[in-house]
Amino acid sequence: MARHFNNNLEQQQAPAFFVRGPSAMARLAFFSVLSLALMAADSRLQYLLSVRQTLQTLLHPLQILANTPSQLYRDAGEYFSTHDYLLSENKHLKQHALQQDIALQKLNTLALENEHLRQLLEANKTIVQTSVAAEIMHVGRDLFSRKIIVNRGESHKIAAGEAVVDATGVIGQVTRVYPLTSEVTLITDKSLAIPVQIERNGLRAIAFGHGRDNTLDLPYLPANVDIRRGDRLVTSGIDGVYPTGLSVATVSKIEITPDSPFAHIICAPTGGVENHRQVLVVRMPNIEVQAEAELPPTLVLKAIDAQKAVKESPVKLEAKQKKPAQLNHMSKQHVHE
């Protein structure tokens, strides 16, 4: 009987200590399909835009908290800086401010002369852009894109497409706006292009970000193009996004091969997130609205009448043109009688 009891105990299985769910492979397949579905819905239908903005707003205090140690470290370093260093920096800044004041006086003279010439030529005034100061919060962690996050968003009237510059030149463009922050794509990202021109000869081109490193490319320029190493590239302003004359990059390398009709030109950007933390978000006004606002009232009325006349049929226009002539003829006949 004892032997039978032992056989029954051996046939019984021990209860599982942990309750097992689906297998690891099934979980991996489920979450992979779910991730692909969410990415497809977000890219095609923009279903997750409001969810992303809400999460970004909720995570904003955590981002500030995460940046607090580095900010405290920088503040402590600035507080405990030596007196001699501050004196030398103050002296250097005064000399630099004096040089800038002299350059500003020349600039004011040139601006007045330019305005006088525009009045003589009856040309429109230069478009005046507005800017909003911002500070870089952190740099994107994606190795395949060049993006930064600044502490200005929809609440500060920031819109997608606006240019972002720093003290040395253009650094990028606002590509995504959140309630309190904005995402800026740098000009070195391969998905961004910027119209430029060579400051030396005025040659226009389009600069594309290289993506893999901190450089720009000038593609589709012929091998005999008039460009030299060290040429400075500035914004051309023909796209209506970037103001004219802002520094973009400097030509660092030119390669010409016999088997290619185009030159391989590599440029190094003058501005960048490695140089400064403070940036400006520049907003260009609507050219059409400003041009219409600057027209005299008589020209605006004439333009409206011309648009109405184009919409009318040729028969009506011919009848309107004949009526004044008939009235004039009748008035002359009446005077003669």
Mean pLDDT of 247-265: 91
Q: Is the pLDDT of residue 11 over 50?
A: yes
Q: What CATH number has the domain bearing residue 280? A: 2.40.10.340
Q: Is residue 63 part of a domain?
A: no
In which band, very low, low, confident or very high, does the pLDDT at 41 lie, cut at 50, 70 and 90? confident
Q: Is residue 256 part of a domain?
A: yes
Looking at residue 129, its pLDDT comes to 66
In which band, very low, low, confident or very high, does the pLDDT at 80 lie, cut at 50, 70 and 90? confident
Mean pLDDT of 166-178: 90
The reply to whether the predicted model has a pTM over 0.75 is no
Q: Is the pLDDT of residue 317 over 50?
A: no
Q: Is residue 229 part of a domain?
A: yes
Looking at residue 118, its pLDDT comes to 74
Q: Is residue 153 part of a domain?
A: yes
Query: The domain containing residue 211 runs over which residues?
Result: 124-288
Pairwise pLDDT comparison (144 vs 235), residue with the higher score: 235
Q: Is residue 280 part of a domain?
A: yes
Looking at residue 302, its pLDDT comes to 42
Q: How far is 117 from 122, CA to CA, in rounded Å?
A: 8
Pairwise pLDDT comparison (74 vs 173), residue with the higher score: 173
Q: Is the pLDDT of residue 265 over 80?
A: yes
Q: Is residue 217 part of a domain?
A: yes
The average confidence (pLDDT) of the chain is 76
Q: Is residue 33 part of a domain?
A: no
Q: Is the pLDDT of residue 306 over 60?
A: no
Q: Is residue 310 part of a domain?
A: no
The number of domains in the chain is 1
Looking at residue 19, its pLDDT comes to 54
Pairwise pLDDT comparison (100 vs 47), residue with the higher score: 100
